[in-house]
Structure 1
Amino acid sequence: MTGLDVDSLRKDFPILDRTINGKPLVYLDSGNTSQKPRQVIDAIREHYERHNANVARSVHTLGTESTAAYEGARERIAAFIGAPSPTEIVFTKNSTEAINLVAHAFTADADDPRFRLGPGDEIVVTEMEHHSNIVPWQLLARRTGATLRWFGITDEGRLDLSDIDELITPRTKLLAVVHYSNILGTINPVELLVAKARAAGALVLLDGSQSVPHVPVDVAALGADFVAFTGHKMLGPTGIGALWGRYELLDAMPPFLGGGSMIETVSMTGTTFMPPPARFEAGTPPIAQAIGLGAAVDYLSDVGMGNVVEHEKALTAYALDALGSLPYIRIIGPTSTVDRGATISFTVDDVHPHDVGQILDDEGVQVRVGHHCARPTCVRFGVPATTRASFYLYTTHDEIDALVRGVERVRKVFA
């Protein structure tokens, strides 16, 4: 049905051979964290077994090899997202840190007026954001006296753009918006939003935590100023993420952390700093993790992101139909595959999501339950939490059938 040979591909993922409670593992929680192929695991092990040394500090062979592998990963990650230069890729520990790095640059007395923020200025977000793209801006507004505003959500799980001209105005200094919702699966109209922000003179940050793993992303074509994403959701290890930023903006931003490697010279009376990206990578970086992420983007490139999209679209259509046929299921978010990804949140009538998750786990089906670090979205839809099934390139139609059987068992248990 797609260009993916999923049965062969699954052999690359050792964990998929596991059983849970004596039943085959059905992993439907990739929106939380993805599984890792042998190629990524082997790249990390190879580094520790053969090349382990610190980077950018030594002239010996191991240090040179480690630095080459670390910077090589940066180059491949830059190419994967269409960044004009690897110097626009700043390694962070996750998307949260990447977003906070940008928030740190805004102050009341910033040298660059693009990062100067105070009373009367506005930051615009949306009601469907992950907490990582809400809380840093709330803290920034509190520090500077700026105002935080947001787009609402329609009943269909789309952004409510009816008041876009009232929300994005000349007072807007930053628009921070999720590209692909981690709870609703909605893929937002970035082109329209970026154009409006540009016309207002605002900077734009996209949370690409879900989009970069699942759809082809070309940061140059998107037109945003910053894109944050994280490795563990795209077949890579935990502890590594990245911020892509336009170089001229990164060059105008102050350091996020102070320490070794981010300096040019240090004296007791003052310090000068390295240009980006080194300016933002103080201390020993996550070297093995970056190398693992480089291996992950190699894997995704070999598979082909177009193939990933087509496979996930077919899975999502199948799952929406199957879950939608159950009269006691409420899908929270878009119910068609138009501008939506492979993440489906739902509720079961009269059953708490935690109970749904426990019954599904008994069946070997791993899903996430809760508010998914998107509590304002749950409040908008009048639910305390949801059950979320999220798919990836290794997910099969049989696994979706197992999910549906598990939900039917939930209904029988709590009938």
Structure 2
Amino acid sequence: MKTQNSVPTTKVARASQFVKAGVKVGGNYIKHYSKKLIDPSLSKEELHKDNAADIYDALSELKGSALKMAQMLSMDRGLLPVAYSDKFTMAQYSAPPLSGPLVVKTFKTYFGKTPSQLFDKFSIDAVNAASIGQVHLAWKAGKKLAVKVQYPGVADAVSSDLKIAKPLAVRLLNLNERDIDRYMGEVESKLLEETDYELELRRSIEISEACAHIPGLVFPKYYPDLSSKRILTMDWIDGMHLKDFLKTNPSQEIRNQIGQSLWDFYDFQIHTLRQVHADPHPGNFLMRPDGTLGVIDFGCVKVIPAFYYDNYFRLVNPDTIDDDALTEQIFENLEFLTPQDSPRERAFFSDLFKQMIRMLGEPFAVDEFDFGDDSYFNKVYAFAEDLSKVQELKSSKVARGSQDGLYVNRTYYGLYAMLNELKANVVTTKPEWLRSTKSELGLV
């Protein structure tokens, strides 16, 4: 794979990459509509592929928050055409890596030593490269280690990158600028946290130790003396990313076993720890033939505020949705409904969000759920597509939904998507208070 000898770090240099991507996208549109004059039946498939390739190439050179946005978008099926989501998936673990000299320079900056002076053996070629950093294989005292090295300049560029990327996001996703602004602070704070490897080190140790009792999970040991603000060292965990794992044609039993570990992992974090690994994309998990699952990245952790938790998960209980007055109160608390809404708007949005909650809460409404049921996911994706076309939402004067929901919803979306790809059937463990009392009484 081609390596990068430098990463643009100044605002001007980074802004020029976004401009270059925008110019290429504009050129692709001109090319597409010129062809369409000759062939009116021409679809946008070629246009989407060209745009996806040009945007990804530009973002992959920038690294950091720009590439992280592409990674996040690749998880949102239905939000982007397939050409984009397929291309942006590369940001999860197949971005162009940094060259050897840049890696050595990073070590000298933070340790005053080269990798070969710190480790018994260090592979200068990256094993994989994602949005914030890349991973190298190393050995010390007989132990096989994974060393994550952050790309230079990405931490300092988070805020400016998000501002520069906003116009491209508005054009590409056809989003309302107001909606983007509402959640930008949450995204910015999480991206800044992801660039702080000292914070990730503390969280990795804390959460992995708290979750060590969950069957089927494997966590690496972390090494503070070989870690810094931009370098993180841990045990090497063997395993395969999801797509490679599925190519081995694992049995349904193994799929279910891994799926159960995933569900239990998130159930414990959310309902017991009240903080959660909020980056559930396949690049952060390593699956093994024996049905165990390695968890390797705690860079993005969402601490769930008590007020948000209490309101959000009350909606998951089907009994709540059946209580109109209680549901409307919670919708107000979660900012789905606002004081400015007219009676007609309240009724419209209440009905819309009730449909959404019932659909997304289906796995919680039963004791066991088949995530391999594509009909369920087709229904969810169709609803999401219809939602994007709702004029009342597009023309609403306010963005709806608490910003705390951004990463909680993203967590469940990523979890559901992975379980669907695994075709796993899992026992949907949950706190007792999330269970419907009506179903227990045989009333439903």
TM bucket normalised to smaller: under 0.3
**More relative contact order in 1 or in 2 (CA 8 Å, sep 6+)?**
1
- Please state which structure has a larger fraction of its residues in helix: 2
- Please state which structure has a larger fraction of its residues in strand: 1
